Amino acid sequence: MEDKSILIVISGFSGAGKGTLVKRLISDYDNYALSVSMTTRAPRPGEVEGKDYFYVTKEAFEERIRDNGLIEYAQYVGNYYGTPRDYVEEQLAKGRDVILEIEIQGALKIREQYKDALLLFVMPPSAAELKNRLLKRATETEEAIRNRLRRAAEESEGIDEYEYIVINDDLDACVRELHSLIRAAHYAAKRNEGFISRIKSELETYR
Ligand code: 5GP
């Protein structure tokens, strides 16, 4: 079976812990490449240019949109976020599974363009736990936290568009679950149409 690389979209409410999960997937397993997004939001303390995001001005972002340099982009709580095209296409061509950690509007745009993309949604065990985690992060104002919770309520409407949900309660267990779901996705019939039709045509000779 030819093992085609998969474009993996991981979404989840802000504070659900998806950033930590994604970092663990990259460090625990070999075959993943993480796409670094472009954003117009300011870096948070400790964030690094080129590692967490490429931080750009609104003008530079809009130029990138016009040049077709992003495979998707969205506005989230007043800022632009987008996925640079080159890296994703290069890594998929090399046979690596590429992870996009993006919000829901972007996820849906990816699914329109890449029909075999795998959409995963990370949930907290409860809404109260989500609020706790945002408060603990303490890098943002109360107003920003309120906006993120409001946005989570809106985003919860779209969860049924995703293929699988995972609950981030125990980090180690959640990393293993995500990896297993991705491995299983490689064997889905819908992602192996080429192989299936080859076997079918080989079998034609026995009819
Ligand atoms: P944060 O400001 O907390 O880093 O990210 C805010 C939201 O934007 C998160 O839900 C994150 O997944 C999403 N996001 C980050 N990069 C991208 C991107 O390239 N495209 C889209 N559509 N969303 C993104």
Distance between first and last Cα of the chain: 23
What is the mean predicted confidence (pLDDT) over 60-85?
Answer: 96
Using CA positions, which residue lies closest to atom 3 of ligand 1?
Answer: 14
Query: What pLDDT sits at residue 1?
Result: 66
Q: Name the average pLDDT for the chain.
A: 94
Q: Establish if 182 belongs to a structural domain.
A: yes
The single residue listed with the structure tokens 């779901």 is 181
Domain around 135: 7-36+97-206
What is the mean predicted confidence (pLDDT) over 138-164?
Answer: 89
- Asked if residue 178 has pLDDT above 90, the reply is yes
Q: Establish if 43 belongs to a structural domain.
A: no
CA distance 61 to 54: 10
Compute, in angstroms, the gap from residue 3 CA to the centroid of ligand 1: 29
- Residue 13 alpha carbon, nearest atom of ligand 1: 10
> pLDDT digit string (tens) for 41-59?
999 999 999 999 999 999 9
Q: Establish if 189 belongs to a structural domain.
A: yes
- Name the CA dihedral angle for 151, 160, 53, 95, rounded to a multiple of 10 degrees: 180
Cβ atoms 37, 54 nearer than 8 A: yes
Q: How many domains does the chain have?
A: 1
Query: What pLDDT sits at residue 2?
Result: 65
